[in-house]
Amino acid sequence: MMMSRGAGRGQEPGGVEHSSLLGDEPVGGDGFVSATHPIHGVPEGRTPTAARRRWGSLVAVALVAGVVGGGIGLGGGMLLMDSGSPESVLSQRDPVTGAQVNAQAGTVQYAASKTSASTVDIAVRSGRSGAEGTGVILTPDGYVLTNNHVVEGGTQISVTLPDGTSKSAEVVGTSPSYDLAVIKLDGASGLTPAELGKSSALVVGQQVVAIGSPLGLEGTVTSGIVSALNRTVEAEGDNGQSIIYNGIQTDASINSGNSGGPLVNLDGQVIGINSTILSSGKNTGNIGLGFAIPIDTASRVADELINKGVATKPQLGVTGTDSRSGAAMVSQVVPGSGAERAGLKPGDTITKVNGRTVSSFADLVAQVTANAPGSTITVTVADAQGDNPRDVQVTLGSQEDTSPQTTGQTDSDYERLDPFGFPFGSIPGGR
């Protein structure tokens, strides 16, 4: 499936227009998603405060309308009382199950209540522009996990805690390839860390809850299900840099400002970090297709950022392109890499990783980077025609993550970088 990489490219065939990382192109049958915009909370040039003021006004308008309506109803009621009614004819009852009062484990209410105590609002300023996102508290002393695109380029970071207090923060480290970052709050103590779960235990159809600050509305809770796993998501940020990752797909409503916030199971365990949405046409909001970075990957990266200030990513050691058979064709093998030691050669076609079908070279990137550096993966390799498959074991190398998995050059270059710092090679059709 041909994918356009740039945001704001105009109308695509089929009425799809690129608009917003939380992304821009339909999901194909191969599970490949092209997305083109990080979930920034506030449009460039508008400060987070202005955004809150704007939405506050909208809420106030609704509240004023409610007051007017209530006033009319109250007036009618008072007239009725004045005409001789000694008591109200209406009554209210306590909830039957009590679930509305006391959250029970395994419910959306429980998950929201538990995780909201570990979720923060992040406002970032850079010059006269600003953005807003969400973060997950990792430690009592103020380490917070969020998206790299939330804090990227920011000069001032302000974090609003669940109790409403505000603290300044500094970036500890970033992982551009995974769109993750860790910040540290100044003078924080006694915070409630989020409970991290395991994304490897997820199943399609299970309920999940998203918490964040969409459009500046702090502490917003939405719910849905895991609608797909192992989606290859290609997202392009405002700076033109692309990111490829293996994502969790959900229909829980997430919008601009949810970036970096938690996706949790009904036990209140964080199983993903919200990062991307798919939009169509002129609709830049949620259409039921959002994507989160699996917590199995995010927790490894966060640990490295906290301990060393820099994260690592796995190194396969090949360059390549999409094959005609719908897999990944190897163009070059890097000397001394795990791929060379495993016997991979130019012209080979990689059709599977750990038993999962590879549908494109970008899909190969996503599947490889879902593994930790130093781990051993099973790669199914065929000839140029996709025939005579064989399984080989490849031990992945390690490289510091200082640049995105895919750093698009220009469309005329038709070249990408793999997650290991080596060119992917020519992409047919300039995708």
Instruction: Compute the distance between CA of residue 154 and CA of residue 184 in angstroms, rounded to an integer.
Output: 14
259 is catalytic: yes
- DSSP 8-state secondary structure symbol assigned to residue 358: P
- Is residue 401 within 8 A of residue 176, CB to CB? The reply is yes
Instruction: Compute the distance between CA of residue 248 and CA of residue 254 in angstroms, rounded to an integer.
Output: 13
DSSP E strands in 190-335: the ranges are 195-196, 207-212, 220-236, 242-250, 262-264, 269-277, 290-294, 312-315, 318-322, 328-333
Task: Please enumerate in sequence order all residues whose Cβ is within 8 A of that of 283, keeping only pairs 6 or more positions apart, or say none.
Answer: 19
Which residue reads 């970052």 in tokens? 181
Q: Which of 405, 310, 319 is nearest to 366 (CA)?
A: 405
Which residue in the list 34, 121, 149, 256 is annotated as catalytic? 149
**φ, ψ (nearest 5 deg) of residue 33:** -120, 130
Residue 41 to residues 124, 259, 261, 279, 298: CA-CA distances in angstroms?
A: 9, 7, 12, 16, 21
Instruction: Compute the distance between CA of residue 379 and CA of residue 352 in angstroms, rounded to an integer.
Output: 6
CA angle 248, 249, 255 (to 5 degrees): 110
Which residue in the list 20, 24, 158, 179 is annotated as catalytic? 179
Which residue reads 């046409």 in tokens? 281
Which residue in the list 116, 259, 275, 359 is annotated as catalytic? 259
Instruction: Compute the distance between CA of residue 112 and CA of residue 99 in angstroms, rounded to an integer.
Output: 13
Strand, coil or helix: 138 = coil
Which positions are catalytic? Answer: 149, 179, 259
